[in-house]
Each structure stands twice: as C-alpha cells, then as structure tokens.
Amino acid sequence: MSTTHTITGIAPAIAEAIDQEMAQRADIVVLGEDVTYWGAVFGFTMGLFQKYGRDRVIDTPITEQTFMGMAVGAAAVGLHPVVSLMFVDFLGAGFDQMYNHMAKNHYMSGGQFAMPVTVLTAIGGGYGDAEQHSQVLYGLFAHVPGFKVVVPATAYDAKGLTISALRDPNPVIIFGHKLLTGLPFLPFEGIADEPVPDTPYTVEFGKAAVRREGRDVTLVAAGLMVHRCLRAAEQLAQQGIDAEVIDVRTLVPLDTATLVASARKTGRVLIVDEDYQSFGMTGELAFRIQADAFDALKAPIRRLAVPDVPIPFSAPLEQRVIPSVERIVAEAQALFGAPARATAR
C-alpha cells in the first residue's frame, strides 16, 4: 500500500523527485549557479549536494552559455544533466546553446545524439523583484521545436512531472513559479501541506488537469494563475456562475482535447496567463479551442495576460499588470455580458 507525506510548495517536491531518481541512476548530474548550498536559490536542488557531493552536484561560474553548453555536451555522451537557469530572465545569456543546440541536436544528428536535459528555472513576479527578475517567458520555449515545456501548479504535479522529465530523452524545461515554491522568504499562494506519495511516480506530459468542474464558464491557466483562477471561481460561485478551472500542466505537449471538451460543455472561455499577452499562450490556446469548438461558443473567447510592458518594480504597478483574482472575476463576468472593468492591454 502506497504511503504519503506532506510537502508545502513545489520546490521541495522537485528536489525530492531529483533525489529519488539520482539514488537509482548514476547518469544524473546537477549543475548550475548555487545548486550546492543554496539549492539553486529557490530550493529546486536543496539537499542534493550534501547527499551526492561535488562529483554529481556541480556549482558553476555565473555564465549561462558555459553551463548550458556543458549540459549539451554531457547529454551527448550519455549523461542526463539537470541544469539550473536561476531566473528565466537570464535565458538570453545561454540562448545560443539552448535554442541552437539543446533543442536541435537530436534532429540535426539524425537521431544519433539524444538530448536528455532537464532545465529548472524560476518564473514570475508579485514580490517586487522588478523587470529583469519577474518574467515568465515560457512562450519563447514553447515556440521553438525540440523543447518540452512543463509548468507545475501543485507539489504533487511538481514531483511527478519532474520524474517524467528525468525519464524523458528530450530536453524538458520545468518552470517553477516563485510564489509556489513554499520558501519562507516569499509570499506563498499554493496548497499548504499537500499529500505526496513517498515512492517515485510520474505525471503524464500532455494531460491537462480539471482542477474544478463547472458548467457555465471555463477558466484556463498554468502555474500560479491556476490558484488565482480557483479563488476567482469561488467568488463567481457566490454570483451564481459555475466555473470550470483547467490547469494545462504542460504547454508542450498540449492537451487540446481537454480544453476543447470543456469549451464545448460551458460555451464560454477565459484564458489567464502571467506571460506577456502578444504572441503568447493566450493567443495560441484561443486559436486551438475555437478551431474545434467554435460552433459551441456562446461568446468570443476572452484572454487576460500581462500587457506588453516590462514588469514594474513599483508594487501598485506590478499588481496592476499581473492578473489578479479580482480581474479574473471581472473578465469572466464579461463573458455573460457584464462590462469588464477597465484593464491594461
């Protein structure tokens, strides 16, 4: 009989997943900035250095191009590197190695060189870290063929999706929202004391989760926005609107079938995203949903995302651009003909 224990936040869940896989496989190595004593700043590798030592948990200089290149080389010769991109905002420094090598080498080698790399990166704002440390940017990775894009919203999913990544022969990017890590120095918006199985398990890529069933409107989100949509759904219920909440879990591969089925059931869809609005997740999902559910829609699909401005340092401005529970409620109400409150676009 499987037993469980409780975990608060996605960071310890990810670290536990890596630990359990490292204990069984000698090919997994961890590298990046501060992956040793600090556990990669946001705790994704906490405790691994103390258990596995410098041969398998390797602190690198602050040079993303170098350690992303190391990961590509290590994967090519049979290892499975777990590499920490501390903040997703720093991806530009390792752009060439990631976009032109990690994502493409398997294809360009005619399948001779697999690229089993798991990249861990922290995303999101809401705590005053300003423009260069508060972005989401998973849309950039989803845009490039070769990457799998994973966005866990719960500790259970964080562990299961990470184990799936570590067993996948392709490069997988895991985007962990800082406000879901459970770390004491950050505001926490996730599920406290979530039960997680003691033993390793996997969560399937390309399978969305219905976090709340409803009949009137579908709210679609990833990561932190899933939790804000759930809180918005509670408020909508008090107004007689029964909202269904879909957690996409992975952008690549994407579970279009679940999104379409929900849209056909409710007839109204709001897509909520903390990434930038233009050319991002909201537009892609809106197209895929309407392509297969247009005849069932009772209103045009609405989307709520970060307007095309850098994330402000100013707390009131930051809270203005990041979708809030209040704004999600207003946008959902607008699907029923109620005027949405003025929002930045």
The pLDDT tens digits of the residues spanning 156-171 come to 999 999 999 999 999 9
Contact between 268 and 218 (Cβ < 8 Å): yes
Query: Are 221 and 113 in a shared domain?
Result: no
Predicted pLDDT of residue 1: 65
Number of domains into which the chain is organized: 2
Q: Are residues 294 and 321 in the same domain?
A: yes
Average pLDDT estimate for 78-101: 94
Q: What is the CATH number of the domain that holds 78?
A: 3.40.50.970
Spell out a b/e string for 210-245, using b for 16 or more CB atoms within 10 Å of the CB, else e.
Answer: ebbebebbbbbbbbbbbbbbbbbbebbeeeebebbb
Q: Which of 80, 106, 133, 177 is catalytic?
A: 133
Residue 107 lies in a domain: yes
> What is the reported pLDDT for 129?
85
Judgement on whether residues 54 and 117 belong to the same structural domain of the protein = yes
258/183 same-domain check: no
User: What pLDDT does 345 receive?
Assistant: 33
Compute the average pLDDT of residues 240-246.
98
Asked whether residue 22 is domain-assigned, the answer is: yes
148 versus 95: the higher-pLDDT residue is: 148
Task: Find the catalytic residue in 16, 33, 64, 318.
Answer: 64
Domain boundary residue, one of 163, 197, 231: 197
Q: What is the pLDDT of residue 342?
A: 43
First CA to last CA distance, the chain: 51
Alpha helices per DSSP H over the chain? 10-24, 48-52, 64-76, 95-97, 105-108, 138-143, 155-166, 224-238, 256-266, 281-293, 315-321, 325-334
Query: Around Cβ 189, how many Cβ atoms within 10 Å?
Result: 17
Percent of the chain with pLDDT over 70: 98
d(CA 186, CA 180): 9
Q: Give the C-alpha separation, 40 to 136, whole Å.
A: 18
In a domain, 345, yes or no: no
- pLDDT on residue 2: 78
Does 248 fall in a domain?
Answer: yes
- Strand order of the sheet with strand 80-87? 57-59, 28-32, 80-87, 118-123, 172-177, 148-150, 250-252
pTM: 0.95
Judged by DSSP in three states, 276 sits in strand
Q: Report yes or no on 270 lying in a domain.
A: yes
Distance of CA 172 to the CA centre of its chain: 11
Domain check: are 265 and 234 in the same one? yes
Q: What is the mean pLDDT of the chain?
A: 94
203 part of a folded domain: no
Q: Residue 103 carries which side chain, given as an amino acid letter?
A: A
In a shared domain, residues 329 and 271: yes
Confirm if 174 and 160 have CB atoms less than 8 A apart: no
In one-letter notation, the amino acid at residue 99 is Y
Can you say how many angstroms the Cα of residue 329 is from the centroid of all Cα atoms in its chain?
Answer: 22
191 and 217 co-located in one domain? no
Q: Which of 86, 82, 83 is nearest to 22 (CA)?
A: 82
**Cα 263 versus chain centre, distance:** 22
Which residues span the domain enclosing 71? 4-197
Q: Are 182 and 255 found together in one domain?
A: no
133 noted as active-site residue: yes
Q: Are residues 286 and 154 in the same domain?
A: no
Q: Identify the pLDDT of residue 79.
A: 97
Assigned domain for 202 exists: no
Please tell me whether residues 288 and 322 are part of one structural domain: yes
Please check whether residues 176 and 268 belong to one and the same domain: no
Respond yes or no: is residue 101 known to be catalytic. Answer: no
pLDDT, tens digit, 9 for 90 and up, residues 285-343: 999 999 999 999 999 999 999 999 999 999 999 999 999 999 999 999 999 987 665 44
Instruction: Looking at the structure, tell me whether residues 184 and 43 fall in a common domain.
Output: yes
Average pLDDT over every residue of 92-119: 94
What CATH number is given to the structural domain containing 313?
3.40.50.920
The verdict on residue 204 lying in a domain is: no
Name the percent of the chain lying above pLDDT 90.
88
User: Half-sphere exposure of 215 toward its Cβ, with a 13 Å CA cutoff?
Assistant: 1
Q: How many CB atoms lie within 10 A of CB 38?
A: 16
Q: Does residue 277 have a pLDDT over 70? A: yes
Contact 17, 159 (CB under 8 A): yes
Res. 206: pLDDT tops 50: yes
| pLDDT computed for residue 343 by the predictor | 42
Q: Which of 165, 197, 229 is the last residue of a domain?
A: 197
Which one of 174, 197, 220 terminates a domain? 197
pLDDT at residue 341 in the model: 55
Specify the amino acid at residue 43: G
